[in-house]
Structure 1
């Protein structure tokens, strides 16, 4: 019988025979970066490196061609990594949806499987890897925009909150974000090679679209939870901690408004001479603005 998860099986065969339990199961404090202290310390370190690095770079020349290769490798690796994680998540999610339907898939406790939890942990660690995006900006002496810094910082903490809160709807947001990241980091890799792709505006629209979709489904899941809790609906509640649901909706909504503002500011002079275009890097989750 053919394997139901051929991509996962192939990847697992390439890895070590055994992996520490704390790396595949969310088990605070054994799992790295699984406590509030460690997560906030990591973000605080990130901010210190950013603004400390920016201060140091004020008196130095920006790094130019020497960063081209590491920046290319970084973007290609994130493109491939995001694509593979998206593929193995879909292998796990599609059978769940076929078995129970969409509402079951985003709300039932059984939709939070042990394998999906492992994928959520990997996605969470990706958010710390993506912080390197900003380090490149600092070394290139590019301005650190609020959208960039806030989005990267908040997304890591958002993923942290969902792992703690075990919200079954998490996969929907992450799948959208990973799909966007495949396109986005592929674009950045191509731009590093000076391949002219007409994707700048399209990538930003794609980023905004993911927030509309993610917010819509998360609001529906939150409504289902509370309406069931208050006896207003017989459809059943949605699994997950209430604080995690609130954090998800609030955080994603803030991203949407920031990206809409970014879009309006960046493309209001679209087509006019001298108008500058910037692509906002947004991750599910992960966003920042990079000037080309």
Structure 2
């Protein structure tokens, strides 16, 4: 990994990760408030929209998806550069267990940006409700649990965070690019939608593997900072995602009552 690839930008260099971690330690439970407001919006919004015509919102949807795509692409490049550097120079265990991802150069800003982004990403559901599209369980369950777990884990700087965040950035960079193209009216191959769902399934499987590695190294007495409560919740979360995405993949592409291709992954957007 070249030095140039890990060069810090000014906004990354000036970012104060200590203040960010301290704020999250003091305020992470506010994620429950966001989750409650999110559920209230879903219930209230769907009730209101029963009596109204659906909104098209194509231009706002293109802008929304494109913004999240660009954000995810930059996040994937920056965190990916850091993770590849650690993996290639210090090995797999260091890449999983090192807390440097939370406070090291390049990655520290994007780690905090990642966890904060899970709150505005709840806005995805706004388009589904206002456009009167089918809201599947996987969509809102995924949004809520990712928000709660991300805020809960960041405050403790738990092992595995670098892998979890980088994988999510990578998948979202492709996923939101797909959504932007679809919303803009471009025809995208159904195989691309299948590919995105497969990458998400792979991400969930990898999440389980990383949790197993953290647990194993902890049991061996090696330095891999986490705690059993976090490992249990994370494993249950990733395992549930794995099952739900497998079910979605089958129903969307092979089941008798196939979902629309635009419902790829956890959302129906078209």
Q: TM-score, normalised by structure 2?
A: 0.88
- Give the CA deviation at 1:127: 1.1
Q: Is 1:76 matched up with 2:42?
A: no
1:5-32 C-alpha deviation (Å, 9 max, x unpaired): 34x41xx36x9x966x47863113687x
Task: Judge conservation of contact 1:165–1:244 (CA < 8 Å) in 2.
Answer: no
1:60 alignment counterpart:
52
Q: Determine which of 212, 222, 238 is the counterpart of 1:219.
A: 212
1:100 alignment counterpart:
90
Task: Judge conservation of contact 2:138–2:244 (CA < 8 Å) in 1.
Answer: yes
2:238 alignment counterpart:
252
Q: 1:241 to 1:276 in 2, by over 3 A?
A: closer
Task: Judge conservation of contact 1:266–1:278 (CA < 8 Å) in 2.
Answer: yes
Q: Is 1:26 matched up with 2:21?
A: yes
Q: 1:167 to 1:126 in 2, by over 3 A?
A: same
Q: Determine which of 106, 122, 130 is the counterpart of 1:139.
A: 130
> What is the DSSP-based 3-state SS (H/G/I as helix, E as strand, rest coil) of the residue aligned with 1:28?
helix
Q: Count residues with an aligned counterpart.
A: 266
Q: 1:277 to 1:127 in 2, by over 3 A?
A: same
Gaps of 5+ in 1: 230-235, 283-287
Give me the whole-angstrom Cα distance separating, in 1, the residues matched to 2:24 and 2:70. Answer: 30
Q: 1:93 to 1:277 in 2, by over 3 A?
A: same
1:289 alignment counterpart:
267
Please identify which structure carries the higher helix content. Answer: 2
- Give the CA deviation at 1:204: 1.3
Give me the whole-angstrom Cα distance separating, in 2, the residues matched to 1:217 and 1:30. Answer: 24
Give me the whole-angstrom Cα distance separating, in 2, the residues matched to 1:190 and 1:59. Answer: 30
> What is the DSSP-based 3-state SS (H/G/I as helix, E as strand, rest coil) of the residue aligned with 1:130?
helix
Task: Judge conservation of contact 2:99–2:159 (CA < 8 Å) in 1.
Answer: yes
> What is the DSSP-based 3-state SS (H/G/I as helix, E as strand, rest coil) of the residue aligned with 2:173?
helix
1:35 alignment counterpart:
28
Give me the whole-angstrom Cα distance separating, in 1, the residues matched to 2:122 and 2:179. Answer: 15
CA RMSD, aligned part only? 2.6
Counterparts of 1:192-207 in structure 2, within 5 Å, are 192-198=183-189, 199-207=192-200
- Give the CA deviation at 1:94: 2.7
- Give the CA deviation at 1:268: 2.1
- Give the CA deviation at 1:242: 2.6
Q: 1:23 to 1:52 in 2, by over 3 A?
A: farther
Structure 1 stretch 216-225 or stretch 125-134: which is displaced more? 216-225
1:219-259 C-alpha deviation (Å, 9 max, x unpaired): 2222221x214xxxxxx242223322222111111111111
Asked which structure has the greater CA Rg, the reply is: 1
Q: 1:239 to 1:2 in 2, by over 3 A?
A: closer
- Give the CA deviation at 1:108: 3.5
1:48-69 C-alpha deviation (Å, 9 max, x unpaired): 11111111111100001xx111
Structure 1 stretch 68-77 or stretch 155-164: which is displaced more? 155-164
Give me the whole-angstrom Cα distance separating, in 2, the residues matched to 1:215 and 1:110. Answer: 21
Q: 1:256 to 1:264 in 2, by over 3 A?
A: same
Q: Determine which of 154, 161, 185 is the counterpart of 1:163.
A: 154
2:249 alignment counterpart:
263
Give me the whole-angstrom Cα distance separating, in 2, the residues matched to 1:86 and 1:77. Answer: 14
Q: TM-score, normalised by structure 1?
A: 0.82
